[in-house]
């Protein structure tokens, strides 16, 4: 990039001033800081350059010093100065971690070898919740692949990973009190792909790995719809499939079989399944599942789904959502639900809504979302025609769906969170980009759909609305400059022609 260009940073910081040129990075440059932060930096530099910077316990003459000082920056904030020495001061440990991520984007290879671009940065996030959702049901991602996703999103300063753990096509988490879920309900996935599930130790490993990168895991048990797989293990918990016109039509369109009670479902249809709302046994099941998942999860949230319950009457849906949202509160967690659950007036106070309508929503969707705020909850924004990472980039793109529209990088970037719904700005907890995986059959597929659009989601979630670099032209230039970093990390991004990749 030319000298007058913005510093190649995504998400763009609150303030960033470029200096003249680079500071060389010698393999002997010492790093001083708490062990966790120092090794985050040392390991990442090694992955990029092949050399391992030495740690030092001497603060005064370290080439790179990593500090925490709450007086310098607020929660998750940091300052970073790259001059003859490098100094990062986090407002807390997360802030220091984000400062290190920024520094890594300033690490560039050139004729004179490796060096940092000189910069002076002061930064903090706009939203407390910056999320990505991974649908591990339609396609199952083993633990190692989830860790890779965690590394990739942490580098963009996301702090939540929402795991969509259950759906019609498969159940992905071991539940000791209902052992047949792992044994029978986990074997399938969409398209006849291989299933799988996380044992409790697997899940703990994911939670711990995420925590070491300042990411909170948000587990979702999707209820009362999206529950066909439960019936493969425990038929007494679910109703017979509801074969509505839309399902029959779309299933025929995709050339797939209709769901059959008790058999694994591998199609893409939605809205055909429901747990038995009026049976007490259903609530024993749900309580056991939520208790075990809650016990595995140190984070504050339990996502209870609530989307597309098309086979459930409005009264039954309300009955279920009231009881289950209250159950989550009793378990000491904060419920999150997809925005349809906002229609339920008795939903537990403080439930957080996840909005998936468009950036210019229908009145019905907007009203459902606004209800969460009326009842003391806040909102996570996932507008489907901007941040759904499973939408096609363009009509010819082989992966993805198009029901919410085509989402090119500009579409993913050009929207403002506070303009979507008529709610006070401080009721927006944050932004999340979901990756549904009906068309995804490998981590490589997932990466292509995520990257580069996920960078747009990251910037919308992090950078304040009045940020000087918050324009499409600036973003486009900065995004192009990510290519060498992403290539070095082995990210198989979609090299869309919208961007001039450097």
Interatomic CA distance for residues 495 and 6, integer angstroms: 21
Per the CB < 8 A criterion, the answer to whether 172 and 196 are in contact is yes
Q: Is 120 in the site for ligand TNX (CB under 6 A)?
A: no
Give the binding-site size for ligand TNX (rule: CB under 6 A): 10
How many residues can be counted in the chain? 502
CA distance 267 to 136: 15
Q: Is residue 358 involved in binding ligand TNX (CB under 6 A)? A: no
Residue 76, SS3?
coil
Q: Given the complex with ligand TNX, which of 103 and 440 has the nearer CB atom?
A: 440
Is the CB of 338 or the CB of 493 nearer to ligand TNX?
A: 338
Q: List the interface residues with ligand TNX, window 251-310 (CB under 6 A).
A: 270, 307-308
- Least distance in angstroms from the C-beta of 310 to ligand TNX: 11
Smallest distance, ligand TNX to C-beta of residue 388, A: 6
Hey, CA dihedral for 28, 29, 31, 37, is it positive or negative? negative
Q: Who contacts 38 (Cβ-Cβ below 8 Å, separation ≥6)?
A: 31, 32, 55, 66
Q: How far is the CB of 369 from ligand TNX (least distance, A)?
A: 12
203 lines the binding site for ligand TNX (CB under 6 A): no
Given 114, 265, 338, 372, the residue binding ligand TNX (CB under 6 A): 338
Beta-carbon contacts of residue 267 (< 8 Å; ≥ 6 apart): 190, 251, 254, 256, 257, 258, 259
Does residue 406 bind ligand TNX (CB under 6 A)? Answer: no
Please identify, using beta-carbon distances, which residue of 41 and 391 lies nearer to ligand TNX: 391
* Rounded distance between C-alpha atoms, residue 131 and residue 487, angstroms: 23
258 neighbors 242 (Cβ within 8 angstroms): no
The reply to whether 372 sits near ligand TNX by the rule CB under 6 A is: no
SS (H, E, C) 175-236: CCCCCHHHHHHCCCCHHHCCCCCECHHHHHHHHHHHHCCCCEEEEEEEECCCCHHHHHHCHH
Nearer to ligand TNX among residue 46 and residue 308 (C-beta): 308
Q: Write out the binding residues for ligand TNX, residues 139-178 only, by CB under 6 A.
A: none
- Nearest residue to 302 (alpha-carbon basis) of 217, 205, 214: 217
Residue (438 or 445) nearer to ligand TNX, CB: 438
- As a whole number of angstroms, the distance between CA 71 and CA 498 comes to 42
Question: Least separation, in Å, of the C-beta of 390 and ligand TNX?
Answer: 5
Residue with smaller CB distance to ligand TNX, 99 or 271: 271
State the DSSP code for 255: T
**Interface residue with ligand TNX, options 141, 320, 372, 436 (CB under 6 A):** 436
Q: Does 355 bind ligand TNX (CB under 6 A)?
A: no
Nearest to 26 by CA among 113, 87, 108, 104: 113
CB of residue 436 vs ligand TNX: minimum separation in angstroms?
3
In angstroms, the CA 371 to CA 321 distance is 14
356 binds ligand TNX (CB under 6 A): yes
Q: Are 128 and 74 in contact (CB under 8 A)?
A: no
Q: Which two tokens stand for residue 462?
A: 């992090």
Q: Give the shortest CB-304-to-ligand TNX separation in angstroms.
A: 12
- Check binding of 322 to ligand TNX (CB under 6 A): no
Least distance to ligand TNX, CB of residue 438, Å: 6
With respect to ligand TNX, which residue has the nearer C-beta, 338 or 475? 338
Binding residues for ligand TNX restricted to 375-394, rule: CB under 6 A:
388, 390
Q: Does 62 bind ligand TNX (CB under 6 A)?
A: no
- Residues labelled catalytic: 308
Residues 378 and 372: beta-carbon distance below 8 Å? yes
> Does 408 contact ligand TNX by CB under 6 A?
no
Residues that bind ligand TNX (CB under 6 A): 270, 307-308, 338, 356, 388, 390, 401, 436, 438
């Amino acid at each position: 990039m030319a000298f007058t260009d913005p510093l190649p940073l995504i998400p763009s910081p609150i303030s960033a001033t470029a200096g003249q040129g680079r500071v060389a990075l010698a393999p002997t440059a010492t790093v001083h800081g708490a062990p966790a932060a120092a090794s985050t930096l040392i390991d990442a530099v090694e992955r990029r350059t092949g050399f391992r910077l030495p740690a030092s316990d001497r603060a005064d003459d370290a080439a790179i010093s990593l500090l925490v000082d709450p007086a310098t920056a607020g929660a998750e904030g940091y300052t970073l100065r790259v001059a003859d020495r490098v100094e990062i001061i986090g407002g807390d440990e997360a802030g220091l971690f984000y400062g290190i991520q920024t520094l890594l984007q300033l690490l560039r290879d050139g004729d004179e070898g490796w060096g940092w671009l000189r910069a002076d940065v002061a930064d903090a996030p706009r939203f407390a919740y910056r999320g990505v959702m991974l649908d591990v049901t339609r396609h199952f991602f083993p633990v190692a692949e989830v860790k890779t996703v965690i590394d990739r999103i942490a580098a963009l300063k996301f702090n939540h990973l929402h795991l969509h753990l259950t759906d019609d096509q498969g159940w992905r988490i071991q539940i000791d009190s209902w052992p047949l879920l792992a044994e029978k309900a986990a074997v399938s996935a969409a398209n006849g792909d291989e299933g799988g599930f996380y044992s409790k130790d697997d899940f703990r490993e994911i939670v711990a790995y995420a925590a070491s990168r300042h990411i909170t895991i948000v587990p979702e048990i999707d209820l009362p719809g999206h529950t066909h797989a439960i019936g493969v293990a425990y038929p007494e918990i679910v109703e017979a499939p509801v074969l509505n016109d839309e399902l029959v039509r779309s299933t025929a369109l995709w050339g797939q079989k209709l769901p059959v009670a008790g058999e694994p479902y591998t199609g893409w249809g939605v809205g055909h399944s429901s747990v038995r709302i009026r049976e007490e046994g259903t609530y024993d099941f749900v309580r056991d599942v939520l208790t075990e998942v809650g016990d595995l999860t140190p984070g504050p949230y339990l996502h209870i789904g609530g989307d597309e319950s098309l086979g459930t009457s409005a009264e039954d849906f309300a009955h279920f959502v009231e009881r289950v949202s209250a159950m989550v509160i009793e378990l000491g967690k904060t419920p999150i639900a997809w925005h349809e659950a906002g229609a339920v007036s008795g939903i537990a106070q403080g439930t957080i809504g996840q909005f998936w309508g468009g950036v210019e929503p229908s009145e019905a969707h907007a009203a459902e979302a606004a209800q969460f705020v009326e009842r003391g909850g806040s909102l996570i924004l996932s507008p489907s025609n901007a941040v759904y990472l499973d939408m096609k980039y363009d009509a010819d793109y082989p992966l993805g769906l198009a029901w919410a529209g085509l989402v090119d990088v500009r579409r993913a970037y050009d929207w403002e969170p506070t303009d979507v719904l008529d709610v006070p700005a401080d009721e927006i907890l944050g932004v999340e980009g979901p990756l549904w995986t009906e068309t995804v059959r490998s981590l490589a597929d997932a990466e292509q759909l995520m990257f580069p659009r996920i960078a747009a989601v990251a910037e919308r979630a992090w950078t304040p609305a009045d940020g000087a670099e918050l324009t499409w032209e600036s973003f486009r230039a900065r995004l192009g400059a990510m290519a060498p970093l992403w290539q070095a990390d082995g990210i198989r991004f979609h090299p869309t022609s919208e961007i001039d990749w450097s």
